[in-house]
Amino acid sequence: MAFKDEVVAAYQKIQDEICSSLEIADGKARFEEEIWNREGGGGGRTRVLQNGNVIEKGGVNFSAVHGKLPDAVKKAFKVESDDFFATGVSIVMHPANPFVPIIHMNIRYFEMDEQTRWFGGGIDLTPHYVIDTDARFFHHLLKQTCDEFDASFYSKFKATADDYFFIKHREETRGVGGIFYDRLKPDNTGLSFDQLLDFSVAVGNTFIPAYTELIDRNRDAEFTEQQQEWQYLRRSRYAEFNLVYDAGTKFGLETNGRIESILMSLPPLAKWTYNYNPTAGSPEADTLSKLKKGISWA
C-alpha cells in the first residue's frame, strides 16, 4: 500500500470514530453525510450534525484531493511542481450552551513528490467563557500526546498556535489555543514519516477524550439570555478569524474546493454588536483578559 493510501485509511477511521463518539455524547442528533467529488480530482465525505442536545452545529469532514496547484498556492508553498495530493480531517463544533467551548481540529498530509511532502494540523479550544480548569485540562492532554513523541513538541506547537490563532485587528487570541504545526517531516523533526503519521493519528485520537470531558462538565450549566448574547459575540470573532486569516479556508477556496465543506466552520448564528465593551469585573471582561498569547495552561 502506498504511504498516502495508509494516511487516507487512518484519517477515514478517525472520522468514523469521532462521529460515532460525538453522536453518543450529544444523545440526540445524528450526522448527515454527503459524499462529494472535486472537479480536478478527488473528493471527500462531509458529515454535519445540527440541532442536537449539546451541539447546535458541527462538522467532521474528510477529504482526499489531487490535481494541479494554482499559481498563488505554488508561490505560497514555494514549490515549482504543479501536481499535488492532500488529505485530512477537519472538525469544528459549535455548542448550544455558552459554557461548552467551541473546538477545532485539523490533521492533514500534503504531498507533491517524495522530496516534497509533510504533515500539518493541530487542535485548539475557543471558550465563550474561559474556565481555567477546563483550559488546563485541555492543554494537559495535548502535552501528554506531544510528549509521547518529542518532549519539545508541546512548547513549540503551543507557541505556534498562540501566534496563528491571533485576531490581529482585535489584538486578541481566538481562544485559549492548543497546538498547531505545519510542514513536519523527517529533516525538521528527526522522526520518520511513519512516526509522523503515528503522531498525526495520536492528535486525532486526543479529540474525543478532550471534548467529551468538557461537554460532560458544562452541558447542564444554566445560562441567561445575556450570556447567550455574549456567546453570539464570541462566535462572530471566530467567524472573523476563519474568513480573514485561516490558511485552510484560503487553500480550499483557491483549489476549487467544495464551498459547503470549506465554510462548515462558520457558526449557525453570530452577532456583531457595535462597540461592545463588557462591564469591568464581569465574567465577560475576565474572559477577554485571558485571550492573550503566552499564557501557560499546562
Residues known to be catalytic: 104
- Tally Cβ neighbours within 10 Å of residue 92: 21
The C-alpha cell that represents 246 in the structure block: 485561516
CB atoms within 10 A of CB 116: 15
Provide the H-helix boundaries in the chain: 3-26, 71-77, 132-147, 153-164, 186-189, 193-218, 225-244, 247-254, 259-262, 283-289
Closest among 183, 251, 265 to 38, alpha carbons compared:
251
- Cα(9)–Cα(2) distance, rounded to whole angstroms? 11
DSSP-based helix, strand, coil % in the chain, nearest 5:
45, 25, 30
- Within 10 angstroms of residue 153's Cβ, the number of other Cβ atoms is 21
Cβ-proximal residues to 251 (8 Å cutoff; 6+ apart), any chain: 73, 257
* Residue 111 in grid coordinates: 504531498
